[in-house]
Amino acid sequence: MSWDEGSIRPVPLTALGQSYRRYRLADPAAEEAMAGSLRRWGQLSPLVATCRQGPQLEVLDGFKRLAAAPQVAGWATLSVRVLDVDERTAKAAILGLNRGQRPVRELEEAWIVQALVREDGLTQVEAAHLLGQHKSWVCRRLALLEKLSAEVKEDLRLGLLGPALARQLTRLPAGNQQAVLALTRREALTAQEVSGLIELLQGASPEQAAFVLAKPREALAQTRSLPVALRDPRLSPAGNWLGRHLTQALEALVRVENWLHTPNERELCERDRAILEPLLTRVGDQAGNVAELVLGPACTRSGGGDG
């Protein structure tokens, strides 16, 4: 459906519920800035809410405006666009309404995906269709919540851990993730070094794992000193061709990520982001398509429900 549908009317602040706020990260600084905007310019766009039984409306978009309004003298109502949607569509709207306004944080996406699949009973394919995404995108969002340890998920929620590193950590058992995260911070490891360490830890004996965690760069140096095989004897010619090209693509993305983590270099302007956004979307979509062609339904089977 179009998010521009529905009637717009003034609604008392006391009649606006916030049960869906659990799917959004708090941003006190943005709420304070919003209060200043309301004082100076008034309400520039309506909130979006959905009907529930009784007089209460549940907000889907506009939580910062709702939090800021009580700070502004004389504000007892807000203009609200009311949508008549079911529970599943309401959750999809939380992402859809924000997609064109600011980058939705990956953790927020993961919360919505998990709610649709685990609470509302959608298959991963159905959730992907509802959200306008590829099913491998749904699988990756689920992994952020369901393959991470509780401590790592809390760091992710607080913004102390970026989604790129979080995705790397999902390759490890939950019991090892906190140790690798602490090591990454203590040694100031790059994204490429973390990826290499995780590869070393996968399938390592307890003695080998202890050495890797105690002396990460030494372990990486020893591995990199070995000659790199031109081909993997376990793979077919087609598998080797694909592996070689995927490695090259991954190395390019790692270089970009390292560049973005470099002070001063990463300060893109709004015009840069607007121009590059379609290209970034295409890169993400293409990666999902390749994963689907290679893995087939294996990724979705791990989440259960649509194998």
Tens-digit pLDDT profile for residues 241-272:
888 888 778 777 776 766 665 545 556 777 88
Token pair recorded at residue 248: 């090259």
Three-state DSSP state, 78: strand
pLDDT computed for residue 267 by the predictor:
66
pLDDT mean over 134-146: 89
The three-point CA angle 119-80-29 to 5° equals 75
In our burial notation (b when 16+ CB lie closer than 10 A, e otherwise), range 40-75 reads: eeebeebbbbbeeeeeebbbbbbbbbbbbbeeeeeb
By residue count, the chain amounts to: 307
SS3 266: coil
Mean predicted confidence (pLDDT) in 32-45: 90
For the segment 71-99, the average pLDDT, to the nearest whole number, is 89
Closest CA to 98 of 46, 128, 61: 61
**CATH assignment of 7-99?**
3.90.1530.10
Confidence at 100, pLDDT banded by 50, 70, 90: low
Any alpha helices (H) in 104-215, and if so which ranges? 106-114, 124-131, 135-146, 150-158, 163-169, 174-187, 191-201, 206-214
Would you state the pLDDT for residue 113?
Answer: 95
| Percent of the chain with pLDDT strictly greater than 70 | 85
Which of the four pLDDT bands, split at 50, 70 and 90, describes residue 300? Answer: very low
Query: Which of 147-156, 209-218, 295-304 has the least mean pLDDT?
Result: 295-304
For the cut 80, the answer to whether the pLDDT of residue 278 exceeds it is yes
User: What are the φ and ψ backbone dihedral angles of 66, each rounded to 5 degrees?
Assistant: -65, -40
Among the ranges given (64-78, 134-148, 176-190, 227-241), the one the predictor scored with the smallest mean pLDDT: 227-241
- Per-residue model confidence (pLDDT) at position 266: 54
Q: Higher confidence at residue 7 or residue 228?
A: 7
Residue 305 has pLDDT above 50, yes or no: no
Rank 5-9, 102-106, 249-253, 264-268 by mean pLDDT and report only the highest. Answer: 5-9
Confidence bin at 302 (pLDDT 50/70/90):
very low
d(C-alpha 114, C-alpha 141), whole Å: 8
The pLDDT, as a whole number, for residue 63 is: 92
CA–CA distance, 197 with 139 (Å, rounded to integer): 24
In this predicted structure, the answer to whether residue 1 has a pLDDT above a threshold of 60 is no
* pLDDT given for residue 58 in this prediction: 94
Other Cβ atoms closer than 10 A to 26: 13
Question: What integer is the mean pLDDT of 228-252?
Answer: 76
- Kindly state the tokens that stand for 61: 């978009």
- By the 10 Å C-beta count (0-12 exposed, 13-18 middle, 19+ buried), 232 is classed as exposed
Global pTM? Answer: 0.62
pLDDT for the residue 57: 93
Question: Average pLDDT in the 32-57 region?
Answer: 87
What is the rounded distance in angstroms from the CA atom of residue 196 to the CA atom of residue 185? 15
For residues 100-128, give the mean pLDDT. Answer: 85
| Predicted pLDDT of residue 208 | 87
pLDDT given at position 7: 85
Question: Torsion-angle region of residue 305: left (phi > 0), alpha (psi -120 to 50) or beta?
Answer: left
